[in-house]
Every structure is written in C-alpha cells, then in structure tokens.
Structure 1
C-alpha cells in the first residue's frame, strides 16, 4: 500500500509514542496510563511495542485538564556555577519533595516548554520574556530556576548541573546525560516508586550556536519576530534560521495578512528598532500550539499573497531568500516538509471579532 506523502507527514506529526506523551505532560511513563484513562483518552493504536496517542488529545490534556503552572518561581540569577551549587541547600530546605527537574542547553527551548516570566515593565503589548536553563519543581508545583546551570556539553555549566542533580537524588548513571553533547534537553520525572526517570532529547534547533531568534509575549501567545538586523546571519546559515522558525510554528495552520501597514499597526503587530522607528508585521503565521511568527514584507501591499501559498513562498515574499529547490541535498526532510505546508488564510475581520469577545 502506497501512502500519500502529505498524509504520511501529517501522521508523523499527529501520532506520538507513550514516552513522548509522558514527557509532554511532565509525568512518569508509569503514571501516563492512569492519567489518560481518567480523562477519557484512549490510545489510537496499541501493540506489544507500545501505544500511540493523538498529539492533539495530549495537548488538550496538557492545556486544559492538567493544572498549569501559576506560581512565581524563585529565580537565581547565578553569577557562576559555583554560586548556583552553593544555593542548592537553600533550595532543598525551601521546597517540598522534588518531583521534576528540567535541564536545557538553550533557554529558547525552556521558553517553548512554558518556562518563562513576562516582563511587566514593558508598556506595549509586546513584552520581553525571562527564562532559565535549570528548573527544579516540587510536589506542590513550587519551582526554583537557575540561569547558569545547563546541559549539552562537557563544560562548567553541565558539570555543575551533574553535581546538583546528584545532590537532589538523581543517580550518577542518569545525571551523566547532562554532560552528553548528543542531548539538548534532559528531563527527570519522579515515578510512583520515588525514583527519577530520565527523558533526553535533541532540540529541533541546530546546535552550531545558541539561537539568534528572540521570543516575546503578545496577548497570551509566544511570538518570534523576523529580525531585519540578522539578515546577513540568515544568508550565512539559512538552515539554522529555518529550524528556529519551524520550532516556533511547527504546524502553522493559519496565516493573517494585513493589506496595509496601517491595519497591522491598528491591530498591534508593530515593534520599534534601535532608533525608535516602526517595524510593521503584515504577515502572521499562527500555529495550533498558540504561537506566532511575525514577518515584515519589504512591500506595503500583500496582494501578491492573495492566493494560498506554502511556507516557502511566504518566506520568499517576506524577503527571506530560501530557494530550497537548489538545496534539496542540504535541507533536512523535516525542513522541506515544513516549507511545503500551506496555511489557511484568516480574514482580518476574524481577528476583530475575537478581539471584541
């Protein structure tokens, strides 16, 4: 049986394993079955090798049924790894039983996982975010965040993370993963036996350097802005930027088009450059995860996008010279599939209706 390529891509994105579902819900694999059953969710496929779930079902559970983090974390802007290690006794004495530990190479991934604080000092709707790379959570949902401890290589930060993990009760055969360059995210969840399970993954983002893209908060959503100042960096390493963009909106379902700068400004899709000049975003890619990628085309009229376009054509229109047809041997399949997605156009009137609710 030959499976349609588009259908195959859709299934690969929508179906997830039990291990991935447990990681998304931030619970142990042992507890997963009870959680999904108690919320009326059944595996889409069962076998002796494991179960498969619909990603959308798990996302609904994560965003709705399971209580979201509401407590303000204790944030340690650790000046050094030694400083962070010295604060662990204070954290242990402050928190209750520690059930979760999250370690990241890059705070970009931590923000995408929901670990961020929104700046209340920004007067505009577009607000800056603060995050960390080492997060400890106790059984009551209280958290302590460290900025200098991280993972993904053999340096001082991951070595400090390993030492802290062992002090928190993670055995050495599992703490060692934070110093392994193969993993950008290492997460520890305590199971019903009181032992830490480990989930280790690579990031969707290339590891050549940390991310250039800046993330912001806008009316309840995480957004990434096309940065004209980084255009030369984009030309030098297109794959890196495409990974960053695709990690923000991995499955863009809608696209909002403003046919004039004035309309985009009226709806708040605007920022300022270093000199205080307006940067106006007339093309907005919206993902089913509730994130947005804001693009600023070099023209004032979007009539060229009147008919449905794929991501590749949209980026080209916004001045990002993708030309992936010439680079099929260089671009990974996941990027090629992403560039071929055709998001549905959403009339501006829909935004106005939603804004008025």
Structure 2
C-alpha cells in the first residue's frame, strides 16, 4: 500500500525532538529546560503525559541565543583566593531562598564550554579574543549571576573546603565534619538545581577538558599541541594548534587521533571551510606559538555558532598521503568532487595542488 504521507512523516521525524534529545542539544538538565519553558524562552511543541516534544529549529535557535547572550554581560569575578572568595560571598549577603542553580568547576575551560566566560580584551573583527571563565557560579531566580574564582571542586584542597562552606550556608548540602563531602571532592564539574518542591538535587560530571585531552608525547610526529578557547566574530572558538616534525625532508600526516580529538566541540557540524595560507592570514585564522606561526586552514562550524579550527599542513604533505584527512572529511559527510584526468596528472607531477580551498556544507 502506498504511503502518501511518507514525506511528511520523514520531515516530522527529523524535526520533532524528545525532552531527552532537547536537553542533550542544549546541554541542560530537565529542570533547567523546565525553567526555560517557564521563562518563555522555548515553546513546547506538544505536551505528553510524562514529557514534552520540541520543534528542532526552535531548539537550535535557543542554543544560538544562549551561546551568544551568556558572554555579552561582563561579570565581576570575586575572590581569586579561597579566603577572598568567602569574604566576598559573605559581603554579598545572598538570599539563599532565591538561589536557583549553582555550578562548580575544577577547570576554567569547562566553565567556558558551558558558556560562562568574560571577554578580557577589546574585540576586533577577524581577531582571536582572549576569554576567561570562573570556577563557581551562583544563579538567582531573576537570572542574576555571581561568579567566583577561589571556590572549586574535584579534589580535597582549600578551594573545595570553601565550596563546601558556601554550599552549606546556601542550604544546598550539609557540611561534613572532618573530610570534604565526596560530592565535591569526587567530581570535576557539579551542577546543583532545585526540584519542583524546592529541595536541592545535583549532577556530577568528569571534566570535558580531561576527557578529551590528548597526550601529545605519544604522537611521534608532533613537537606539541595547543588547545585554546577564544571568541572570534561573536563565536566561541576552539583552536587546535599542532606543531609538526619534519622527517627526512618531508612531514608525516597527523594521526586520526589528533584530527578527530576535538570534534566533541562541534557535535552538530553544518559546514567545513578550507582556507588557503593567504586567506588564513588575512582573516585572522592563525596564532603564534613558541615563535612559530600556526595557520588554521580548516574551520568546522557547528549549528550552535561554535567553531573548531584545525591546522593541517596541506602544502607539506603529499596528497597521496592525506588518508587521515580523507577519513575526517568522510566522518563529517564532506565529499570533494572527483578530479579530471588532467588535474590528477598535474597533481601527480606535483605542479600544483588540488584546489580544495572552499566552503563545503555538511
């Protein structure tokens, strides 16, 4: 029997998201999603008995909004030492009944990945701009946020003692005598939130940074690798700058582990752009690392307005040896057009490289 609605069904299947899928895309818990619904930031497409359905374009539009708006407000960061952070917390006299959420991080870059960051220098077009994140964030019911540096989690040191003190005074958890509460010491990232009955709940996670960190010492073809987070033309950017070794006058191709390691930052890629050396320099897609200019000639853009920049020495690696790059492109869904016989012959003679410097939709 012919299905006259197959097209409509496929369209609905691709664009209607469950609560779990929506939470994963937004990087939010169910409670956070409920708060976004209550504040009219997103509309429920259809309410079910135990969950909701959401319209995919609206979810990604909200994700772009969250990613961009979070960083526009300059937040004062209190207490770079634990004692200073505690002093500042007490001076703020925060009403614990109006606290809705608390975030705690071991690494600043994990806070940045969650869109908690300040821009620490003047933003200019086509320029990488430095950013910094806090380690402890209190979110009030009216959306106001208090950021701290000297309060942290993930170990049993002074910063965690400070975190335990603050959380105890806010009524989030009970301070233990002797050792630090294991919820604080055992997690590199913590998110505390209110239940419907106003009691507190929490989610603990490992560090995103540690989970995806690459031990470049195991890579024979690298002198080193630098990962940094920046702002660029309003977008959050992760740069992966590798410094490659030359072997017998040539340069081995970077391993798949190196090329694939940072794809977590762009889970929903929409395009891949290849830049020539000239274009990379003229548009600010470069860094100076240890006296060496590193060009980022691969730009992978995510639907959330995040970008991953990779450096890959196209001009120093024979096209016949670019196997791992081809696997990366294949994983992203990019298919570069087949060359003509003339192009292949010229490439074989190494007269000129194939022209891949263009923009590809994923």
TM-score category (smaller protein)? 0.5 to 0.7
Q: 1:273 aligns with which of 289, 313, 319?
A: 289
Residue by residue, what CA displacement relative to the aligned partner does 1:15-53 show, whole Å, maximum 9, x if unpaired? Answer: 65289469845773693595498843336x9575x5575
Q: Which residue is equivalent to 2:315? A: 300
Pairing of 1:177-326 with structure 2 (within 5 A): 178-181=183-186, 183-191=187-195, 193-206=197-210, 213-229=227-243, 243=261, 245-258=262-275, 260-275=276-291, 277-300=292-315, 304=319, 312-313=324-325
1:279: Cα distance to partner?
2.5
Residues 68 and 28 of structure 1: CA distance in aligned 2, closer, same or farther (over 3 Å)? farther
* Count of matched residue pairs: 304
TM-score (structure 2 length as normaliser): 0.65
Q: 1:131 aligns with which of 111, 130, 133?
A: 133
Question: Is 1:168 aligned with 2:170?
Answer: yes
**Of 85-94 and 260-269, the range deviating more from structure 2:** 85-94
Q: 1:341 aligns with which of 318, 332, 348?
A: 332
Residues 141 and 253 of structure 1: CA distance in aligned 2, closer, same or farther (over 3 Å)? same
Indicate if the aligned counterparts of 1:285 and 1:293 stay in contact, CA closer than 8 A. yes
Who wins on radius of gyration, i.e. which is larger? Answer: 2
Residue by residue, what CA displacement relative to the aligned partner does 1:299-337 show, whole Å, maximum 9, x if unpaired? Answer: 3389959xxx99x525889xxxxxxxxxxxxxxxxxxxx
Q: Secondary structure of 1:154's match? A: coil
Residues 61 and 131 of structure 1: CA distance in aligned 2, closer, same or farther (over 3 Å)? same
Q: 1:75 aligns with which of 74, 77, 86?
A: 77
Distance in 1, matches of 2:79 and 2:258, equals 28
Indicate if the aligned counterparts of 1:17 and 1:51 stay in contact, CA closer than 8 A. no
Structural RMSD (CA): 4.7
Distance in 1, matches of 2:149 and 2:41, equals 36
Residues 213 and 250 of structure 1: CA distance in aligned 2, closer, same or farther (over 3 Å)? same
Distance in 1, matches of 2:244 and 2:165, equals 37
Distance in 1, matches of 2:184 and 2:236, equals 29
1:190: Cα distance to partner?
3.4
Gaps of 5+ in 1: 1-9, 318-338, 352-357
Distance in 1, matches of 2:83 and 2:214, equals 23
1:68: Cα distance to partner?
3.9
Q: Which residue is equivalent to 2:6? A: none
Distance in 1, matches of 2:266 and 2:68, equals 24
Q: Which residue is equivalent to 2:152? A: 150
Normalized per residue, which structure has more helix? 1
